Chains A and B, each alone.
Chain A
Amino acid sequence: NAGVTQTPKFQVLKTGQSMTLQCAQDMNHNSMYWYRQDPGMGLRLIYYSASEGTTDKGEVPNGYNVSRLNKREFSLRLESAAPSQTSVYFCASTPAGSGANVLTFGAGSRLTVL
């Protein structure tokens, strides 16, 4: 009964390093999302994938890339990390084909960029 699994849970990077956050869901959901959460800012959408094979930019996509590897997995890549990308990242999924509806969230990945 895993739901949405994110790895890693914590990561410290130096400015300019790259890394990939992994996300997998076992609920056969069609849509997957990446959000970032900063203090006092709520959740902001980075990228989403309405269905396997499609990805779209959200509110704050600059500095990120995504890959919808298959129906289960949706990864977020930082090519050249910057201190402004220090944040908590949440992956989420929903069963709707093209609808947001009720999101199921992963536990979050706390990223610090020095």
Chain B
Amino acid sequence: EDKVVQSPLSLVVHEGDTVTLNCSYEVTNFRSLLWYKQEKKAPTFLFMLTSSGIEKKSGRLSSILDKKELFSILNITATQTGDSAIYLCAVEGYYGNNRLAFGKGNQVVVIP
């Protein structure tokens, strides 16, 4: 059975702090790892990672994958209150059809 474990499950930081979120996984026939941001409603896509050691970056957010140690990190620098959200990690494996397994999420609260 696929396993996706995110840590910490929740954290509170002050504006301007740096946040590091962890996602470790065990999945059959790994294809990709995806990060989503969920505010009030639907999750929105952030990054997809398929290769080890290559950082994906978008503004203050960045992510990297380690396929040997089976984990990914999502970093948020200079946090703002708009970064308050649940960050979901999902891993795609291949079972005849591709399927995503989600972790429980990292709830981030940024206080002014």
Contact = CB atoms under 8 A, between A and B. Distances in A.
Interface stretch (A17-25, A72-80, A101-109): A101-109
Contacts of A35: 102
Contact of A43 (B41, B88, B96): B88
B39 to A, nearest CB: 12
Interface in B9-35: 9, 31-32, 34
Interface size class of B (residues with CB under 8 A): 20 to 34
Contact of A105 (B4, B43, B105): B43
A44 B102 contact: yes
B45 A103 contact: yes
A43 B102 contact: yes
A contact face: mostly helix, strand, loop, or mixed:
loop
Given A106-B42, A107-B42, A108-B42, A40 B99 contact: no
Contact of B98 (A41, A98, A104, A107): A98
A37 to B, nearest CB: 9
B88 A56 contact: no
A95 interface: no
23 contacts: A4-B42, A35-B102, A42-B88, A42-B103, A42-B105, A45-B100, A48-B99, A59-B101, A90-B42, A96-B98, A98-B97, A99-B31, A99-B92, A99-B97, A100-B31, A100-B92, A100-B99, A101-B32, A101-B48, A103-B45, A105-B43, A105-B44, A107-B42
Interface of A: 4, 35, 40-45, 48, 50, 56, 58-59, 90, 96, 98-108
In the A-B complex, the 4 residue pairs with the closest CB atoms: A105-B42, A99-B98, A42-B104, A43-B102
Interface of B: 4, 6, 9, 31-32, 34, 41-45, 48, 88, 90, 92, 96-105
Given A96-B98, A101-B98, A103-B43, 15 more contacts: A4-B42, A35-B102, A40-B9, A40-B104, A41-B104, A43-B90, A90-B42, A98-B98, A99-B31, A99-B92, A99-B97, A100-B92, A102-B45, A105-B43, A105-B44
